[in-house]
Amino acid sequence: MTHRLRKFLGTRSGQSLSRTGHTIPRHVAIIMDGNGRWARRRGLPRSAGHYAGMQALRRTIRAAADLGIGFLTLYAFSTENWHRPKEEVDFLLRLPSEFLKTDLPELKMRNVRICFLGSLDELPAHTREAAGAALAETAGNTGMVLSFAVNYGSRSEIVRAVREVVRESLAGRLVLEAISEKTISTYLFTAGIPDPDLLIRPGGEQRLSNFLLWQSAYAEFWFPRVCWPDFGREHLLEAIEVYNKRDRRYGGIKL
């Protein structure tokens, strides 16, 4: 395949039709939950669940890119995750560099652009450096946008945006009347990324846990029982089927 053709195939767009006539959501967001439970059930350490979760992540990224999903966003580490035992936090924060060491070449070949949601400044240097390198090395890519929410919390994201808006306002660069939903959106970590169409949380919990609160105003939600380490292509396809059966009205009525 020529480089140009691959670039073309990997170009993100709006909602598209799959071969089966399904509408492919433009933006899919996933809370990768159930890793600890998956491990406990097997009598394995939590770290084994996280490793298996990383395999599920690989499968899901490949499937999403193949389906032509434009934006895939993954909740990897929440601001609340700092409350876990230090050993587990240390382990988790090694996964980005470990993942990128093995998978960045394939992601680059697939024309994927990597983004980060959350404050990277509070992360250990090795995590920050791996993230920075992935960001820089894929910045020019035009295919699927793969966003990792690391040290992310949606309420603090909104607080941060409000502070920026107030700063602009106090500086006289923004009049009160001009502050709109769009203004707020441009100060969120997700600026430039469309709102998610479909949000998936495997693992049986049915809550958002401080993920994309503002952005999920009109998202469809799907909460499969399967734990994240067992998630794969077939679950993503099922999610798209569920999504296609829903009737999205955005508060309006059907004509």
* Residue 242: C-alpha distances to residues 23, 69, 221, 230 (Å): 11, 16, 9, 19
Q: Of residues 33, 141, 151, 197, which has the active-site annotation?
A: 33
| Closest distance of CB 182 from ligand V0D, Å | 28
Stretch that binds ligand V0D, among 59-67, 90-98, 219-227, 236-244 (CB under 6 A): 90-98
141 is catalytic: no
**Binding to ligand V0D by residue 100, rule CB under 6 A?**
yes
Stretch that binds ligand V0D, among 59-67, 93-101, 180-188, 234-242 (CB under 6 A): 93-101
Q: Of residues 35, 66, 81, 244, which has the active-site annotation?
A: 81
Per residue in 197-229, is it b (16+ CB within 10 Å) or e — as a string? Answer: bbbbbbbeeeebebbbebbbeebbbbebebbbb
**Binding to ligand V0D by residue 236, rule CB under 6 A?**
no
Q: Angle at Cα 41 formed by Cα 29 and Cα 84, nearest 5°? A: 60
Taking each continuous run of H as one helix and of E as one strand, the counts in the chain are 9, 8
| Closest distance of CB 161 from ligand V0D, Å | 22
Rounded Cα gap, residues 199 and 30, in angstroms: 6
- CB closest to ligand V0D, residue no: 53
Length of the chain: 255
Count of positions on this chain that bind ligand V0D (CB under 6 A): 20
Residues 136-195 that bind ligand V0D (CB under 6 A): 148, 150
Position among 29, 92, 219, 227 found at the interface with ligand V0D (CB under 6 A):
92
Given a contact cutoff of 8 angstroms between Cβ atoms, the answer to whether 107 and 114 are in contact is yes
Residues 51-80 that bind ligand V0D (CB under 6 A): 53-54, 57, 76-77
Residue 79 CB coordination number (10 Å): 19
3 state SS of 1: coil
Residue 71 CB coordination number (10 Å): 24
**Binding to ligand V0D by residue 211, rule CB under 6 A?**
no
81 is catalytic: yes
Give the residue numbers annotated as catalytic, written as ranges. Answer: 33, 81
The site for ligand V0D (CB under 6 A) is made up of: 32, 35, 50, 53-54, 57, 76-77, 92-93, 95-96, 99-100, 114, 131, 134, 148, 150, 228
